[in-house]
Structure 1
Amino acid sequence: MTADDSYGRLDDDNYPAYTMGRAAELLGTTQGFLRAIGDARLITPLRSAGGHRRYSRYQLRIAARARELVDQGTPIEAACRIIILEDQLEEAQRINAEYRRTAARHTADV
C-alpha cells in the first residue's frame, strides 16, 4: 500500500480512522457513552489488530445525533431506537421514490 492509498482512505466516510478516545473528544462525550450506544447496537465500531475500538466519520455523525437526543433528556435506549427508526424511514422513503420513478417510466413507455 502506498502513502497515496492511505491518504485516500481519509476521504472514506466509513474508514475507521478514530480511536475511542479521539471520538469521545470530538463529540464532547465520554468513552462510556460510546460503549453504551455500541451495546445498544446503534453503531458497531471496528476493532484494530490490538482489539481497540475504531470509529468512522459516519459512525461519529450517528453518535452525535444520539448525544443530541440524550442531551435533550431522551434516555439512551430510546435515543438509539429513535435513530434506528429515522434511518429505516429514510430508507423506506428512498425506496418509495425509486419505485415511483420506475413506475412513472413504465407508464410513459406504455
Structure 2
Amino acid sequence: MTADESLGRLDDDDYPAYTMGRAAELLGTTPGFLRAIGEARLITPLRSEGGHRRYSRYQLRIAARAREHVDRGTPIEAACRIIILEDQLEEARRINAEYRRAGGSPSPSAAA
C-alpha cells in the first residue's frame, strides 16, 4: 500500500483508526464505557491483529450520542437501545420517502 492510499483511508469514516484509549480520550469517557456500549451491541469495534479494539469515526459519533444520553442520567443499556431505535426509525422514514418519490403509497405496516 502506498503512502497516499494509507492517508486516504484516514478520510474513510469506517476505517478503524482509533485505539480504545484514544477513542475514550476523544470522547471524554473511559475504556469501560466503550466496552459497555460494545456489550450492549451499539457498536462493534474491529480488532487489530493483536486483538486490540479499534474504532472508526462513525463509531465514535455513535458513542458520543450514547454518552450524551448517559450524561443526562440514562442507563447505558437504555441509551444504547434508544439510539438503535432512533436509527431504525430514521431508516424507515428514509425508505418511506423513497417509496413515495417513486410513486407508491406506503403500506400501513411500513408507515413510520
The two structures have a TM-score, normalised by structure 2, of 0.91
Structure 2 match to 1:108: none
Residues 22-101 of structure 1 aligned to structure 2 (within 5 Å): 22-101=22-101
Secondary structure class of the residue paired with 1:103: coil
- Partner residue, 1:107: none
Identity of aligned residues (%): 88
Give the 3-state SS of the residue equivalent to 1:42 in structure 2. coil
Q: Distance in 1 between matches of 2:43 and 2:81?
A: 12
**Cα separation, 2, equivalents of 1:9 and 1:103:** 39
Count of residue correspondences = 104
Q: Would you say 1:2 and 2:2 are equivalent positions?
A: yes
Alpha-carbon RMSD: 0.7
The structure in which a higher percent of residues are helix is 1
Stretches of structure 2 lacking an aligned partner (at least 5 in a row): 105-112
How far 1:80 sits from its partner (Å)?
0.3
Cα deviation code 1:23-57 (max 9, x no counterpart) = 00000000000000000000000000000000000
Quote the offset at 1:75 in angstroms. 0.6
What is the alpha-carbon distance in structure 2 between the residues aligned to residue 47 and residue 99 of structure 1? 38
Structure 1, unaligned runs of 5 or more: 105-110
Normalising by structure 1, we get a TM-score of 0.93
- Distance of 1:2 and 1:94 partners within structure 2: 38
Letter in 2 for 1:6: S
CA distance in 2, matches of 1:103, 1:17: 42
Point out the structure with max Rg over C-alpha: 1
Question: After the TM superposition, which segments of 4 or more aligned residues of structure 1 sit over 6 Å from their partners?
Answer: none
